[in-house]
Chain A
């Protein structure tokens, strides 16, 4: 685990790992952080949260259209799949994989149901990421 992260935050991350919200890819992300790049994890997961929120907004718009362009929907889902795989957001990644199947089948109902699931799992992980970053910041302030 990265020496630059506080014990409280690591505990937070450990609980997300044990519940399957995150996978071992997140631990590998922690190892990339070092003294020369002390904000790497915070920046990466902040970007994931912002990008993910934008993507869910786009997917909602796309699936609201009378004539759904499933290739365009799939492109957005694929991007979120990649980002979630990179940060270790396992449940988001797996939901994206299911979503892509419904895009292939051109099933609007399937896509809409999976989007609902995606919203739940994404906001669950992004909420916990934000709490983790807040804790990290509070601990950093306390040690100043």
Chain B
């Protein structure tokens, strides 16, 4: 399955403090040929946006040191990044509510499944294609 749109790969940012979970999600995203960037906590992620980096999709964990996922998402959206698709991911209860409150587009419980990741990437590609033709 390709995630190329007119030669451009889907740019994905993983915000996750667990190296194992980053490794596994990265392996899934590589199946869809995504260009992958990672941040170990919310603060690193916000810094990337302050440096002008752009992404098509963010997968964001909830509980991280220094800055949590919901806090980072609030700041990222406040920077004007309203079009980037943000997926909140967590293994705990109550995470969905915390994410939806700050404006994520979707919540997916951990562990993430390949077909779920694939469906999300396909949505992003479709949106990119629609934006290209406008």
User: A residues touching B (Cβ–Cβ < 8 Å)?
Assistant: 25, 28-29, 31-32, 36-37, 40, 43-44, 47-48, 51, 75, 78-79, 81-83, 85-88
CA distance A113 to B24 in the complex (A): 31
Q: Which residues of A are found within 8 Å of B114, using beta-carbon distances?
A: 28, 31-32
- Asked if A32 and B24 make an inter-chain contact with CB atoms under 8 angstroms apart, the answer reads yes
- Asked if A82 and B27 make an inter-chain contact with CB atoms under 8 angstroms apart, the answer reads no
CA distance A75 to B110 in the complex (A): 16
A120, chain B: closest CB distance, angstroms: 21
- Asked if A85 and B91 make an inter-chain contact with CB atoms under 8 angstroms apart, the answer reads yes
Q: Which residues of A are found within 8 Å of B18, using beta-carbon distances?
A: 51, 79, 82-83, 86
A94, chain B: closest CB distance, angstroms: 12
Q: Which residues of A are found within 8 Å of B92, using beta-carbon distances?
A: 78
Q: Which residues of B are found within 8 Å of A87, using beta-carbon distances?
A: 20, 24
The reply to whether the CB of B79 lies closer than 8 angstroms to some CB of chain A is no
